[in-house]
Amino acid sequence: MQPPWNRPAVGFAPKTSPATEIARLLALLSVLLWSAAAPAQKLEQFAATRLIFLEPGKAAQEERLFFGGGKLRVETAAPVGKGVMVWIFLPDLRKQWLLNPQKQLYGELPIEGEEGGGPIVRERELGKETVAGFECVKTELLTTLESSEGTRAVKTLVWRSERLALPLRTLEQDGSGSELRAVVERQHPPALFEIPPGYRQAPDHFALWESFSTP
């Protein structure tokens, strides 16, 4: 099996897998969380359902999001085997955790941003649209990704509202994307964004990834 992160601190698994598509979207979110100021943001803490569209015309994968205090928790189905996987993003500390609740394991990785040699985002506003009841600015992002295979440009459409710190909708040039649904303002306990007691750190990313597919 290919190592979990097919480029440093960005994505899991082969490019064609659902896990990579989710990781690519999470990487985009990490850039938005780190770089986008939201002074007019009204929902400081909220929960939502996010639909991940891997291919046009295919059924969406559903995951749960929890945002509060500038931190993001994502709960989604494990890409291999059974159970769930949990991502916790801490942009202020420039790191992220991946948790395997079934095995009580976790791994820690840095969040890449422009200052860390990660994606370079150029933006172009395309107008305003309403998504899930939120007025959004539709923006085209041109992201340059650096990897051992060279440099490639990825164009992404993003719908963002001043009321939320996360985009309501994203659309990649290959047709994949995401959309937030059922956004509800909710106070979260601090423990939701922490590693639970009793969890062990995986020896490496290979071991953490393999833990999702072993009994």
User: Can you tell me the distance from the alpha carbon of 190 to that of 106, in angstroms, rounded to the nearest whole number?
Assistant: 18
Beta strand 134-147 with 150-160 is: antiparallel
Q: Is residue 215 part of a domain?
A: no
pLDDT value for 53: 86
Give the N- to C-terminal CA distance of the chain in Å, as an integer.
Answer: 17
- Count of domains forming the chain: 1
Let me know: does 23 contact 15? Beta carbons within 8 Å: no
Residue 60's domain comprises 5-210
pLDDT reported for residue 10? 30
The pLDDT tens digits for 82-117 are 788 899 998 888 888 999 999 999 998 766 544 434
CA distance 114 to 151: 15
- Look at 27-41, 107-121, 181-195 and tell me which has the smallest mean pLDDT: 27-41
Does some domain include residue 89?
yes
CA 116 and chain centroid, separation:
18
Q: Is residue 67 situated within a structural domain? A: yes
Q: What is the CATH number of the domain that holds 95?
A: 2.50.20.10
Q: What is the pLDDT of residues 172-189, one digit of tens each?
A: 888 888 899 999 999 999
Task: Tell me if 160 sits within 8 A of 167, measured CB to CB.
Answer: yes
